Chains A and B, each alone.
Chain A
């Protein structure tokens, strides 16, 4: 018995190469009116939806339904340009040149108001990130640069500076039986933080830069206690309940300060007082025989997405645009199968992998161009509308903004390639569109609208192609800052590029499988 290989015509001479195939595919795409219209509609929907979202956000109403707390309508900027929260009680003396500040901490206590589960009005409890210690700060204005060496409620000794930097020191809390010493020394603009259990043997925790005139002294802050609940219409609400910490310092020395008394400042004072502060214990300091009892609330930290609006709010329309892109990209290949055009195509370009590659290049490039146009318009206009509405749009660096805009366009392009690959693999347009929507758009939408439980949303945004949406996240997570870092508020479980890589991996896999299938099977 003889086995004959199936007849495969030799590629025609002179027309070999990728460019003519690319041109053929581009001609096909450009001449189908529905596809071109689809891509334009996808870009327009993305922009318009972003604008619709942006125009509905006002600082007092907040981006999240059911929020009990009004959003502040302005925020100071930290030395790194990020919007920050800067509220604490500060007992200080001037320190213009070199010098040091040292203190012994003998007690750190506090209260929390209305904590779950029983919501008793006030319970004695120090929140984990309550902080007390010594600080050198460029001034008493909100947002000015600082470096602090502190003992926290339950995260041990830390050295923090510039609102975003956090270095862990020796662990452990503070009590009368085991007091803790903290020290900051400044020499030529470099500040070094030390911690000690006995005041003689010191452990260096870290260094930071802070030159120029400054104030040095003691501080106490206690961030609010966060609890999150499900909103009726989807989304989450957050209640941030007032807390207060009180620290007792003794053996306080400031070297390098001119003689004089202590200044007392409630940094970031809004003038508002809680009942607890009015009737029980106000923020402030009591001094007797060298012992300082300092009481304060607040935090020195970057602001979080969710409590404030971020740049990517202007890109809320992307999932909608992607549905249209998926339909177009799948149609780009499945229409050929449906109409039988694929046979003509493969006759003209017998190297089948090339056809698919050319289609992927066309679909990807067209989508990228449309996506970039959409994000390039949506981000500037959207953020401008958001700011006009009074919302604090968390500022990010120019590079991050470019990454969000270009990355989102790339996300749309890769989804188009994935959709094309699925169309080629499954050959049935309907099934391919359903798979793209179910794996790319659905996890993102269900997580954002918090229809899914949080644990499942995180898991899905790690393992499905929807992980790619992480490229839109403009502000990072800060482990030292209390916040609800959940997908519903725009915090993805994977880093931006890692998430994007997951999506690209899926697209490459599907395209590879589709090429293999196209080569082996009859069209």
Chain B
């Protein structure tokens, strides 16, 4: 397994797209969060009598950052199919599931680093921006802090979310192979579910779809104030993990059973 890991690490390290994509994850996560924080002001909200979940607001960028995570994950797999490198890989390392596992491990490590940096910077950016928009302790909004239990949970959960999305992308790419199709499938799965939930008017169906939607369920962990969500933070992450596991299983079977 160490050999496999090393091979995959060398590939990731030397492919020119890896570093820009990782930087993209960080940049989009932070930019999305900062934009959401900058676009929200306390008075506009207070007029309609609402309260904001500032932690969730600060982590809005995860929605955008995960698109880049998906590209990174898909390219890790289908890049090899595109160039034919995969035949060399399987010749050198005939245990195909081990290759997939090594890829998953390297991808997890890379995504984890980018996600931690991105999420921490997002919280920091929101902490700096929000008081300027009227979210001050005087108005009942204490400064965001990771020492606060729910905020820490939301931040850690967001990191985990990004990692699970990467594994989902890797699994789908292994199953579908064509990078364009794989990215279409994963992003469609992530981003079209909310649309589906929104337009279904039957409450029971809405609830069910919300519970199985990888994006909605996964990001439930970001919520620090809304107790009325159909899934708790832990259960939400389990749903996303189940999607990732299913995709990896399908991808693993396809890699093992079919010609490369």
**A and B associate:** yes
Binding site for B on A (CB under 8 A): 52-53, 56-58, 61-63, 65, 116-117, 119, 227-230, 232-235, 313, 316, 319-320, 323-324, 326-327, 330-331, 334, 338, 428-434, 437-438, 441-442, 445-446, 448-456, 459
Interface string of B205-245 (1 = CB under 8 A from A): 01100100000100000000010111000000000000000
In whole angstroms, what is the CA distance A451 to B63 when docked?
9
Interface string of B181-196 (1 = CB under 8 A from A): 1111001100110110
Residue of A nearest to B40 (CB): A453
Which residues of B have CB within 8 Å of A323?
A: 184, 187-188, 192
Binding site for A on B (CB under 8 A): 17, 35-36, 39-41, 44, 46-50, 57, 60, 63-64, 67-68, 70-71, 74-75, 78, 82, 178-184, 187-188, 191-192, 194-195, 197-203, 206-207, 210, 216, 226, 228-230
A183 to chain B, nearest CB (A): 36
Residue of B nearest to A432 (CB): B180
Contact check, B183 vs A430: say whether CB atoms are below 8 A apart.
Answer: yes
Asked if A233 meets B207 with Cβ closer than 8 Å, knowing A319-B192, A434-B187, the reply is yes
Q: Which of A52, A230, A452 contacts B60 (CB 8 A)?
A: A452
Residue of B nearest to A455 (CB): B39
Contact check, B60 vs A456: say whether CB atoms are below 8 A apart.
Answer: yes
In whole angstroms, what is the CA distance A446 to B40 when docked?
16
Residue among B44, B188, B195, B210 having the largest count of chain A Cβ atoms under 10 Å: B195
Residue among A56, A316, A431 having the largest count of chain B Cβ atoms under 10 Å: A431
Can you list 21 A-B pairs with a CB-CB distance of less than 8 A? A56-B200, A116-B49, A227-B49, A232-B229, A233-B230, A326-B184, A327-B180, A338-B82, A428-B179, A430-B180, A431-B17, A433-B183, A434-B70, A434-B187, A438-B67, A445-B192, A446-B191, A452-B36, A453-B60, A455-B40, A456-B35
Residue of B nearest to A458 (CB): B39
Which residues of A have CB within 8 Å of B179?
A: 428-430, 433
A47 to chain B, nearest CB (A): 14
Q: Which of B17, B63, B199, B229 contacts A446 (CB 8 A)?
A: B63
The 10 closest A-B pairs by CB, nearest first: A116-B49, A430-B179, A455-B39, A429-B180, A449-B194, A327-B184, A456-B39, A53-B199, A56-B201, A449-B198
Which residues of B have CB within 8 Å of A52?
A: 199-200
In whole angstroms, what is the CA distance A434 to B69 when docked?
10
Contact check, A324 vs B60: say whether CB atoms are below 8 A apart.
Answer: no
In whole angstroms, what is the CA distance A62 to B200 when docked?
11
Which residues of B have CB within 8 Å of A449?
A: 194-195, 197-198
In whole angstroms, what is the CA distance A61 to B74 when docked?
41
